[in-house]
Amino acid sequence: MSRLLEFVFYRLLKWEILGEFPESEKQYVIIAAPHTSWLDFPLGLLVRSIKKKNIYFVGKKSLFRKPYGTLFRWLGGFPIDRSKSNNTVEFLKHKFKENPNFILAMSPEGTRQKVKNWKTGFYYVAKGAGVPVVKVALDFKNRKILIDQPFFLTKNIESDLKTIRQFFNGISGRFHNLS
């Protein structure tokens, strides 16, 4: 199956992956951006399978209703109800405590729409769990997935977010640029 997925990703779709997920870190938060299309999800699943990483993810609650809810949970998803405060950060921090090999993927935009400001949930999850952030760019223009080295958060959220955001400058999502 792995060879088939690699054939689809590299040969048929003509994408490439630059960089590697860290082997030295067993837990981290992946932020994948820009998130502009439903195609980002199957692309992420392909990368996860090719790189042989067990990566969990969060998604809006409506994705987890019938008939697809069981599938999304089986794939490693956790539903997020964005309409109210549910202590999502605490819930996800707890997942890191439960699983010594927990890797979580999140979209910093929190939606497929173009946003001016990112949501900071990924930051507080990583900070609270004491894990680094791994930046992953989905560059549709160049058909490249760019995986950066782990970024260890400091005590300065503004500086950290500025540094993190710089990695994505000039990256083109399926429907718009992130910068």
Measured CA to CA in angstroms, residue 119 lies from 51, 61, 106, 115, 124 at distances of 27, 17, 10, 9, 10
Query: What percent of the chain is modeled with pLDDT above 70?
Result: 92
pLDDT of residue 61: 86
Exposure string for 79-104, b = 16+ CB within 10 A, e = fewer: bbeeeeeeebbeebbeebeeeeebbb
State the fold for domain 2-167: Fructose Permease (3.40.35)
pLDDT of residue 173: 72
pLDDT of residue 146: 97
Q: Which residues contact 74 (CB under 8 A, 6 or more apart)?
A: none
Q: Could you say which residues of the chain have pLDDT below 50?
A: none
pTM recorded for the entire structure: 0.89
